[in-house]
Amino acid sequence: MNEYKHESDIYIGKLLNNRYSIKSLLGKGGMGRVYLAEDVNKSCMLVAVKILSLNIANQQTAQRFGREIFIGAQLGRKSPHITRVLTYGITNERVPFYVMEYLCGKTIKQILKVESLTINKFIELTQQICLGLHCAHQGVTLDGKIYPVIHRDIKPENIFINHHGKKSEIVKILDFGIAKFLTESSGMTMTESFIGSLPYSSPEHMQGEKILDVRSDIYSLGVLMFEMLTGKHPFHTTNHSFSIWCKLHCVQTPPTFEEVNPQVKIPDELQQLVRRCLAKNVNGRPKNVREILDNLAKIKTQINDNGFSSDPVKIVPLTSVSEKECWQKHWPKNKPVALICFPQLLQTAKGNIATFWAMLPQAEIMKFQGKICTTEFISKMDNYPMVLWVTMLYDDQSALIRWLSYYLDLKEIREEKILHTLAETGYYHLLFFACEEPHKCAYVTTFILTAQQRQTLADNINLSQKFDQKIISSSQGKSLLKKEYEKLRLEVNKKLNTLDKKPTIILKSWLVKLFDLFKS
């Protein structure tokens, strides 16, 4: 588990249950945060503590949490491929947490960012994932009955390779039972309270089926297997709304491996296995994980017998090169050291890339890392050829919100070129600089525009070229856009106040809906 450096946090330095001393933040996501801690009762043995993004409202919810953690603890004792849960508790603020074994290594997500897997390595890792899932699906004993356990959130982030790169490396599955607990405890409708990861959820999960069986995990495993083999997700979208992902999982036919990555060479039998796992209808998938394990064993034997090449394919993210260049940038000498923001074109070997520069306090920059960020473009082209570029940053833990905005006057060649680059490339880098240390870049994040946003920007550019006369002045145009901008801010602030402390995925879903409503 990798440590987050220089992260301020209310739990760091605290002693939970008079036993676990919180040292640093290891990771964070929609379901909660994971911390490195020392068990002071066991010679300061290192452990991992996960604190959930939820408050325990009543005794019934507390009992349900305890039940899910008890089940997870049983699984960890039964299988070496499931993270061991040691104990659990509730903070003074009624926030549930549980204590796990401390792991040293990387998640599948982290690994795929920097390296590709050979076929043999893929099979080795997938077999271990399947062994952990098979153990859970067989069930645990509770009150004299056997209960099969469905994970509900199989994804690259939840597959950890302990001692990655060493001979003793072993796959560990994280977060068993947590998705189910958060779903049952949210008290919201299905689309509002959807707990899971949209890119990896099964069709029946997306459609709100109350009872999921092992084949739901098998679908998620199929998506994961596809990504491990190609370096890319089977479904590509720039719009990450619930409705779009529901359509992709429930209706869209998965592409072939060659369509996603023409460089990969994968045995036909392995391709067929992954395609079966991705079947829309549960009856088209393998009936259980044991069947997948049997198939993988046969495929491995065939590969060894036939000498199938398993050379890795190096996948380099499209934006990774220009992101590295952003980290080398310095705050312009002609700009004041102040809380300001502005766009700039970054010249790279592959052409111009749009960037947005912002100066904020160091503490805020750390809070916004990995948090909810969204972007929008406001225009009224029938009045004046101008676009207001808005980026919203939100930290759900502290409820801190920052709005970054800049007016792009399309009568100015430089600003029209920035908008044209945004429409053409479909992404931009946001560069953060700290007021306390202004001359070097402190953090870089990348925004991917939706297809609709890119088309709207292209339409705005075309309209601006046909704009022959000024109906109103530039300052009047800014005033009109500012009114629309203030309406958007008011609506978003209202909704965020009502959704405070909800899981990240719920907040993101509401923001998408609000922005769509605002545009209509």
Q: Binding site for ATP: which residues? A: 50
268-274: Cβ within 8 A, 24+ apart:
269/295, 269/298, 269/299, 269/302, 270/119, 270/229, 270/299, 273/225, 273/299, 274/222, 274/225, 274/226, 274/229
- Looking at 9, 39, 143, 153, which residue is catalytic? 153
Query: What is the DSSP pairing of strand 441-448 with strand 15-16?
Result: unpaired
Question: Which of these, 93, 103, 96, 88, lies nearest to 19 by C-alpha position?
Answer: 88
DSSP characters for 160-186?
EEETTTSTT-EEEE--TTHHHHHHHHS
Active site residue 153: yes
CB-CB neighbours of 502 under 10 Å:
20
DSSP characters for 62-109?
HHHHHHHHHHHHHHHHH-TTBPPEEEEEE-TTS-EEEEEE---EEEHH
Tokens matching residue 266: 């994968």
What is the C-alpha separation between 237 and 234, in angstroms, rounded? 10
Query: What is the DSSP pairing of strand 351-360 with strand 427-434?
Result: parallel
- The sign of the CA dihedral 425, 429, 430, 436 is negative
Cβ burial, residue 127 (10 Å; 0-12/13-18/19+): middle
Q: Output the CA torsion 303→306→312→318 (10° steps).
A: -90
Which residues sit in the known binding site? 50
Active site positions, annotated: 153
